[in-house]
Every structure is written in structure tokens, then in C-alpha cells.
């Protein structure tokens, strides 16, 4: 996972094959693929809306820095973050890089 934390997204990253996807997902506890393995998602729970919004802002910083943007479903006490590489039609290493970096956020520690 340390490799993912220090990595940068590559706009030309290829889709991950099944073996790579399984290995990478094993290093990302809590992140689950959809049935077609086109995206990974994780729900982060919080005590209040202010914590949710601080988390959303921190995710946005990662997305901006990596130029790779998630879908987020925001509610009063949770945020579900989904990563996919739309330009490739599925999962690339970019999604895993961003998922690992989001998981490492201090704001994510109470989830």
C-alpha cells in the first residue's frame, strides 16, 4: 500500500487485469468492487455533517492533486466515495492510488 500512497496517477494507465485487481484490492481494506469490477467504493461514516464536509474537502484536494476525480454521495453522517477511470471504462491503478490516499486521510480514521 505504501507504493500506492506515494504514486502519481498516469492519464494513460491501462485497465487492471483480474490478477492485478485482486492484488491491489487486497491492499485496500474496505474498498469493494462493483459486480462488473468497473469501480471501487467505500462508505465513510462520521459523527456529524461538519466532519463529513471536512472529509469531502480533503478528498477534493487529493482529486485535484492527482487530476483524477471520484463520485461522492454525501449525507449528514457519511460519504461514499467511488473511483473509476471513465476514459478507460473500468478500473486502473489510478483508482487504487486515489483510494489508498483517501484511506490514509486523518479525516478517514474514525470511520
List, for residues 70-99, the tens digit of each pLDDT value. Answer: 999 999 999 999 999 999 999 999 999 999
Give the total number of structural domains in the chain: 1
Structural domain harbouring 103: 2-8+15-108
CATH number at residue 43: 3.30.1360.20
List, for residues 7-31, the tens digit of each pLDDT value. Answer: 999 999 999 999 999 999 999 999 9
Contact in structure between 103 and 31 (CB atoms under 8 Å): yes
Contact in structure between 29 and 108 (CB atoms under 8 Å): no
Amino acid at each position: 500500500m505504501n507504493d500506492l500512497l506515494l504514486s502519481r496517477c498516469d492519464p494513460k494507465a491501462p485497465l487492471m487485469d483480474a490478477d492485478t485487481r485482486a492484488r491491489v484490492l487486497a491492499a485496500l481494506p474496505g474498498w469493494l468492487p462493483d459486480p462488473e469490477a468497473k469501480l471501487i467504493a467505500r462508505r465513510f461514516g462520521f459523527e456529524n455533517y461538519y466532519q463529513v464536509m471536512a472529509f469531502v474537502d480533503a478528498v477534493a484536494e487529493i482529486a485535484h492533486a492527482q487530476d483524477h476525480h471520484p463520485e461522492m454521495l454525501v449525507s449528514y453522517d457519511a460519504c461514499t466515495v467511488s473511483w473509476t477511470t471513465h476514459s478507460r471504462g473500468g478500473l486502473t491503478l489510478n483508482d487504487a492510488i486515489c483510494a489508498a490516499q483517501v484511506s490514509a486521510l486523518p479525516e478517514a480514521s474514525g470511520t
